Amino acid sequence: MKMHRYVKQLLEDLETAAANPPASPCIELLHDFEIDPWIGELALAPFKPISEWIGIETEVFPPKRLLTARQMTKLFNAMVKVLESLNIELLLPDNFPQKQKYNSLVSEWETPVQYLPRSGFDLVLCQGIRETCPHRKYCTCPNENDLFMDQDRPRERSSDEEDIECPF
């Protein structure tokens, strides 16, 4: 019963944070970028952990073992709403299991991100290479070896390419 009240309060805190995103961190400086203000925003907005942008520390999120599946889903969805209020899009592999989404997002809560109200920010939970990805089983990125395979193969010539003699 204790965890139920705690999760309920945490959901309320996340809802409040989502409803009250911070002011743009560089609004007063954007007048110098009249043509494309989003460029100024991108250049001037600092990187800070999500916890700093919204004032909810990582430590307040209970470990997965203390939560029911329903509580984890509710917390994850509330966290995503907070990200959406910051114009941050969470990018996860399509086949990523619901049970792991909560832990993955909690583990990224201290990752520095830019708050870009005009242009947005992508929070990618995958590291880009399957061998080092913490979500290896669900990672849709190529294997590290696949990244270099094309460089090792000789390029096929098209029929309309002419032979050019090399001077040496």
pLDDT in tens, 48-61: 888 988 999 999 99
- What are the phi and psi torsion angles at 47 (to 5°)? -90, 125
Task: Look up the pTM and report it.
Answer: 0.72
pLDDT in tens, 64-119: 999 999 999 999 999 999 999 888 888 887 778 877 889 889 988 998 887 777 67
Question: What is the average pLDDT across 32-55?
Answer: 72
